[in-house]
Amino acid sequence: MVGARHEEHALTARDAEPGYPATSPWDMGDVVKAMAFSLMVITVGAFALLAAAKFLQLKGVPTALLRVSITVGQAVLQNLAFVVSVWLCGLRKYRVGINSLGLRPFRIGMGCGSAAIAFIVALGFNVSYSIVVMVSTGRQVQATPILPLFGGGLTGLALALVVGSLLVPLVEETFFRGFIFPGLARRFGITAGMILSAGLFGAAHLNLDTFIPLSFFGLVLTLLYSVTGSIYPGIILHSVNNSFALLVAYLIETGFAPSP
Protein backbone atom coordinates (compact mmCIF):
# COMPACT_ATOMS: atom_id res chain seq x y z
CA MET A 1 0.00 0.00 0.00
CA VAL A 2 2.83 2.37 0.94
CA GLY A 3 4.71 1.34 -2.20
CA ALA A 4 1.66 2.06 -4.37
CA ARG A 5 1.24 5.48 -2.79
CA HIS A 6 4.92 6.22 -3.32
CA GLU A 7 4.64 5.20 -6.99
CA GLU A 8 1.54 7.38 -7.45
CA HIS A 9 3.32 10.33 -5.80
CA ALA A 10 6.37 9.83 -8.02
CA LEU A 11 4.19 9.76 -11.14
CA THR A 12 2.40 12.92 -10.09
CA ALA A 13 5.69 14.68 -9.38
CA ARG A 14 7.05 13.67 -12.77
CA ASP A 15 3.91 14.88 -14.51
CA ALA A 16 4.35 18.27 -12.84
CA GLU A 17 7.74 18.78 -14.50
CA PRO A 18 8.00 20.24 -18.01
CA GLY A 19 9.58 17.99 -20.60
CA TYR A 20 7.57 14.84 -19.91
CA PRO A 21 4.42 13.81 -21.80
CA ALA A 22 1.33 14.00 -19.61
CA THR A 23 -0.03 10.71 -18.26
CA SER A 24 -3.66 10.40 -19.34
CA PRO A 25 -6.05 7.71 -18.01
CA TRP A 26 -8.59 7.62 -20.85
CA ASP A 27 -8.52 5.06 -23.65
CA MET A 28 -9.82 4.51 -27.17
CA GLY A 29 -13.36 3.90 -25.93
CA ASP A 30 -13.42 7.35 -24.36
CA VAL A 31 -12.04 8.84 -27.58
CA VAL A 32 -14.80 7.21 -29.65
CA LYS A 33 -17.48 8.45 -27.23
CA ALA A 34 -16.07 11.98 -27.27
CA MET A 35 -15.96 12.05 -31.06
CA ALA A 36 -19.49 10.66 -31.35
CA PHE A 37 -20.81 13.22 -28.86
CA SER A 38 -19.05 16.07 -30.67
CA LEU A 39 -20.33 14.94 -34.07
CA MET A 40 -23.89 14.70 -32.77
CA VAL A 41 -23.81 18.16 -31.17
CA ILE A 42 -22.20 19.76 -34.23
CA THR A 43 -24.67 18.13 -36.64
CA VAL A 44 -27.79 18.96 -34.63
CA GLY A 45 -26.48 22.46 -33.95
CA ALA A 46 -25.76 23.07 -37.64
CA PHE A 47 -29.33 22.18 -38.60
CA ALA A 48 -30.63 24.42 -35.80
CA LEU A 49 -28.48 27.34 -36.98
CA LEU A 50 -29.62 26.90 -40.59
CA ALA A 51 -33.26 26.75 -39.53
CA ALA A 52 -32.86 29.89 -37.43
CA ALA A 53 -31.10 31.66 -40.31
CA LYS A 54 -33.90 30.73 -42.71
CA PHE A 55 -36.49 32.10 -40.29
CA LEU A 56 -34.55 35.34 -39.80
CA GLN A 57 -34.07 35.70 -43.55
CA LEU A 58 -37.84 35.61 -43.99
CA LYS A 59 -38.02 38.37 -41.38
CA GLY A 60 -35.77 40.56 -43.52
CA VAL A 61 -32.39 40.11 -41.84
CA PRO A 62 -29.61 40.74 -44.43
CA THR A 63 -28.10 37.60 -45.96
CA ALA A 64 -24.53 38.82 -45.39
CA LEU A 65 -25.16 39.25 -41.67
CA LEU A 66 -26.75 35.81 -41.47
CA ARG A 67 -23.78 34.22 -43.24
CA VAL A 68 -21.33 35.69 -40.74
CA SER A 69 -23.58 34.75 -37.82
CA ILE A 70 -23.79 31.14 -39.01
CA THR A 71 -20.00 30.96 -39.43
CA VAL A 72 -19.32 32.29 -35.95
CA GLY A 73 -22.12 30.18 -34.46
CA GLN A 74 -20.80 26.98 -36.03
CA ALA A 75 -17.26 27.74 -34.85
CA VAL A 76 -18.40 28.40 -31.30
CA LEU A 77 -20.65 25.33 -31.33
CA GLN A 78 -17.90 23.04 -32.64
CA ASN A 79 -15.36 24.21 -30.11
CA LEU A 80 -17.89 24.03 -27.28
CA ALA A 81 -18.71 20.44 -28.30
CA PHE A 82 -15.00 19.55 -28.18
CA VAL A 83 -14.56 21.11 -24.73
CA VAL A 84 -17.65 19.46 -23.24
CA SER A 85 -16.75 16.05 -24.70
CA VAL A 86 -13.26 16.24 -23.20
CA TRP A 87 -14.71 17.20 -19.84
CA LEU A 88 -17.33 14.43 -19.87
CA CYS A 89 -15.17 11.61 -21.25
CA GLY A 90 -11.88 12.64 -19.68
CA LEU A 91 -11.63 15.13 -16.85
CA ARG A 92 -14.94 14.45 -15.12
CA LYS A 93 -14.91 10.69 -15.66
CA TYR A 94 -11.42 10.16 -14.25
CA ARG A 95 -11.37 13.16 -11.90
CA VAL A 96 -8.10 14.53 -13.25
CA GLY A 97 -6.87 18.05 -13.86
CA ILE A 98 -6.06 19.89 -17.07
CA ASN A 99 -2.39 18.95 -16.75
CA SER A 100 -3.42 15.49 -18.00
CA LEU A 101 -4.39 17.21 -21.27
CA GLY A 102 -0.89 18.59 -21.69
CA LEU A 103 -1.84 22.04 -20.40
CA ARG A 104 1.37 22.11 -18.41
CA PRO A 105 4.43 24.37 -18.01
CA PHE A 106 7.18 24.03 -20.60
CA ARG A 107 10.73 25.24 -21.05
CA ILE A 108 10.30 28.54 -22.90
CA GLY A 109 13.48 28.38 -24.96
CA MET A 110 13.04 24.79 -26.03
CA GLY A 111 9.29 25.12 -26.60
CA CYS A 112 9.39 28.30 -28.67
CA GLY A 113 12.47 27.17 -30.57
CA SER A 114 10.86 23.83 -31.41
CA ALA A 115 7.66 25.61 -32.47
CA ALA A 116 9.64 27.91 -34.79
CA ILE A 117 11.37 24.94 -36.43
CA ALA A 118 8.04 23.13 -36.70
CA PHE A 119 6.47 26.15 -38.43
CA ILE A 120 9.24 26.22 -41.04
CA VAL A 121 8.91 22.46 -41.61
CA ALA A 122 5.12 22.66 -41.97
CA LEU A 123 5.31 25.67 -44.29
CA GLY A 124 7.96 23.97 -46.40
CA PHE A 125 5.81 20.85 -46.70
CA ASN A 126 2.77 22.90 -47.74
CA VAL A 127 4.71 24.71 -50.45
CA SER A 128 6.30 21.46 -51.71
CA TYR A 129 2.95 19.66 -51.70
CA SER A 130 1.29 22.49 -53.64
CA ILE A 131 4.08 22.40 -56.25
CA VAL A 132 3.82 18.61 -56.63
CA VAL A 133 0.05 18.81 -57.08
CA MET A 134 0.39 21.62 -59.62
CA VAL A 135 3.05 19.80 -61.64
CA SER A 136 1.35 16.39 -61.55
CA THR A 137 -2.28 17.44 -62.03
CA GLY A 138 -2.13 20.95 -63.46
CA ARG A 139 -4.39 22.40 -60.76
CA GLN A 140 -3.95 24.25 -57.49
CA VAL A 141 -4.68 22.93 -54.02
CA GLN A 142 -8.02 24.50 -53.13
CA ALA A 143 -8.09 25.51 -49.48
CA THR A 144 -11.45 26.43 -47.98
CA PRO A 145 -11.88 30.23 -48.35
CA ILE A 146 -12.25 31.47 -44.78
CA LEU A 147 -12.34 35.27 -44.95
CA PRO A 148 -15.52 35.52 -47.08
CA LEU A 149 -17.34 33.48 -44.42
CA PHE A 150 -16.55 36.25 -41.92
CA GLY A 151 -17.67 39.03 -44.25
CA GLY A 152 -14.34 40.08 -45.75
CA GLY A 153 -12.55 43.38 -45.21
CA LEU A 154 -10.80 44.47 -42.03
CA THR A 155 -13.80 43.64 -39.87
CA GLY A 156 -13.95 40.13 -41.32
CA LEU A 157 -10.20 39.72 -40.84
CA ALA A 158 -10.41 40.82 -37.20
CA LEU A 159 -13.28 38.42 -36.52
CA ALA A 160 -11.50 35.59 -38.32
CA LEU A 161 -8.35 36.20 -36.27
CA VAL A 162 -10.28 36.09 -32.99
CA VAL A 163 -11.93 32.80 -33.92
CA GLY A 164 -9.21 31.18 -36.03
CA SER A 165 -6.10 32.35 -34.20
CA LEU A 166 -7.27 32.43 -30.58
CA LEU A 167 -10.26 30.15 -29.98
CA VAL A 168 -9.58 27.38 -32.51
CA PRO A 169 -5.89 26.69 -31.66
CA LEU A 170 -6.59 26.44 -27.93
CA VAL A 171 -9.55 24.08 -28.30
CA GLU A 172 -8.27 21.97 -31.20
CA GLU A 173 -4.90 21.37 -29.54
CA THR A 174 -6.65 20.38 -26.33
CA PHE A 175 -9.00 18.02 -28.19
CA PHE A 176 -6.74 16.43 -30.82
CA ARG A 177 -3.33 16.50 -29.12
CA GLY A 178 -4.28 16.62 -25.45
CA PHE A 179 -7.18 14.14 -25.56
CA ILE A 180 -7.40 12.15 -28.83
CA PHE A 181 -3.68 11.39 -29.19
CA PRO A 182 -3.10 9.90 -25.69
CA GLY A 183 -6.27 7.80 -25.95
CA LEU A 184 -5.22 6.32 -29.30
CA ALA A 185 -1.60 5.92 -28.16
CA ARG A 186 -2.75 3.90 -25.15
CA ARG A 187 -4.47 1.44 -27.52
CA PHE A 188 -2.19 1.41 -30.58
CA GLY A 189 1.16 2.75 -29.34
CA ILE A 190 2.81 6.16 -29.65
CA THR A 191 3.67 6.09 -33.37
CA ALA A 192 0.30 4.79 -34.54
CA GLY A 193 -1.43 7.16 -32.12
CA MET A 194 0.41 10.09 -33.68
CA ILE A 195 -0.50 9.07 -37.23
CA LEU A 196 -4.14 8.28 -36.45
CA SER A 197 -4.76 11.46 -34.46
CA ALA A 198 -3.10 13.51 -37.21
CA GLY A 199 -5.33 11.85 -39.80
CA LEU A 200 -8.43 12.61 -37.74
CA PHE A 201 -7.28 16.23 -37.47
CA GLY A 202 -6.93 16.46 -41.24
CA ALA A 203 -10.26 14.75 -41.88
CA ALA A 204 -12.08 17.02 -39.42
CA HIS A 205 -11.52 20.00 -41.73
CA LEU A 206 -13.72 18.36 -44.40
CA ASN A 207 -11.57 19.29 -47.40
CA LEU A 208 -10.06 16.50 -49.49
CA ASP A 209 -7.60 18.89 -51.16
CA THR A 210 -6.04 19.89 -47.85
CA PHE A 211 -6.30 16.52 -46.08
CA ILE A 212 -2.64 15.59 -46.60
CA PRO A 213 -1.06 18.96 -45.63
CA LEU A 214 -3.39 19.33 -42.63
CA SER A 215 -2.68 15.76 -41.52
CA PHE A 216 1.04 16.49 -41.81
CA PHE A 217 0.54 19.65 -39.76
CA GLY A 218 -1.32 17.57 -37.17
CA LEU A 219 1.61 15.15 -37.06
CA VAL A 220 4.04 18.04 -36.56
CA LEU A 221 1.90 19.36 -33.70
CA THR A 222 1.80 15.93 -32.08
CA LEU A 223 5.57 15.58 -32.35
CA LEU A 224 5.93 19.02 -30.82
CA TYR A 225 3.77 17.93 -27.89
CA SER A 226 5.85 14.77 -27.44
CA VAL A 227 9.10 16.74 -27.48
CA THR A 228 8.05 19.51 -25.09
CA GLY A 229 5.61 17.61 -22.85
CA SER A 230 3.10 20.46 -23.19
CA ILE A 231 0.48 21.46 -25.74
CA TYR A 232 1.15 25.17 -25.19
CA PRO A 233 3.93 25.29 -27.83
CA GLY A 234 1.48 23.61 -30.22
CA ILE A 235 -1.17 26.20 -29.40
CA ILE A 236 1.36 28.94 -30.18
CA LEU A 237 2.38 27.25 -33.45
CA HIS A 238 -1.25 26.63 -34.43
CA SER A 239 -2.10 30.27 -33.73
CA VAL A 240 0.86 31.60 -35.71
CA ASN A 241 0.07 29.28 -38.62
CA ASN A 242 -3.59 30.32 -38.77
CA SER A 243 -2.72 34.01 -38.40
CA PHE A 244 -0.19 33.73 -41.23
CA ALA A 245 -2.73 32.02 -43.51
CA LEU A 246 -5.44 34.58 -42.74
CA LEU A 247 -3.13 37.55 -43.27
CA VAL A 248 -1.89 36.16 -46.60
CA ALA A 249 -5.50 35.57 -47.67
CA TYR A 250 -6.35 39.15 -46.72
CA LEU A 251 -3.40 40.56 -48.68
CA ILE A 252 -4.46 38.56 -51.74
CA GLU A 253 -8.08 39.69 -51.31
CA THR A 254 -7.07 43.34 -51.16
CA GLY A 255 -4.57 43.08 -54.02
CA PHE A 256 -1.43 43.67 -51.94
CA ALA A 257 -0.14 40.18 -52.74
CA PRO A 258 -0.41 38.18 -55.98
CA SER A 259 -2.82 35.27 -56.10
CA PRO A 260 -1.01 31.90 -56.32
Per residue in 19-63, pLDDT (tens digit) is 445 578 999 999 999 999 999 999 999 999 999 999 999 888 898
* 31 and 181 Cβ atoms separated by less than 8 Å: no
Can you give the length of the chain in residues?
260
pLDDT in the model for residue 153: 84
pLDDT at position 15 is: 43
In the predicted model, what is the mean pLDDT of the chain? 89
Closest CA to 41 of 213, 208, 175, 194: 175
Task: Tell me what the mean pLDDT of segment 125-148 comes to.
Answer: 89
Amino acid at 201: F
Residue 219 CA to residue 143 CA, distance in Å, equals 19
pLDDT tens digits, 171-193: 999 999 999 999 999 999 999 99
Q: What is the mean pLDDT of residues 142-147?
A: 84
Residue 149 has pLDDT above 60, yes or no: yes
Sign of the four-CA dihedral 134, 136, 141, 142: positive
Q: Three-state SS across the chain? A: CHHHHHHHHHHHHHHCCCCCCCCCCCCHHHHHHHHHHHHHHHHHHHHHHHHHHHHHHHCCCCHHHHHHHHHHHHHHHHHHHHHHHHHHHHHHHHCCCHHHHCCCCCCHHHHHHHHHHHHHHHHHHHHHHHHHHHHHHCCCCCCCCCHHHHCCHHHHHHHHHHHHHHHHHHHHHHHHHHHHHHHHHHHHCHHHHHHHHHHHHHHCCCCHHHHHHHHHHHHHHHHHHHHHCCCHHHHHHHHHHHHHHHHHHHHHHHCCCCCC
Domain boundaries, the chain: 2-254
User: pLDDT by residue (tens digit) across 92-127?
Assistant: 999 999 999 999 999 999 999 999 999 999 999 999
pLDDT at residue number 9 = 33
- State residue 257's pLDDT score: 59
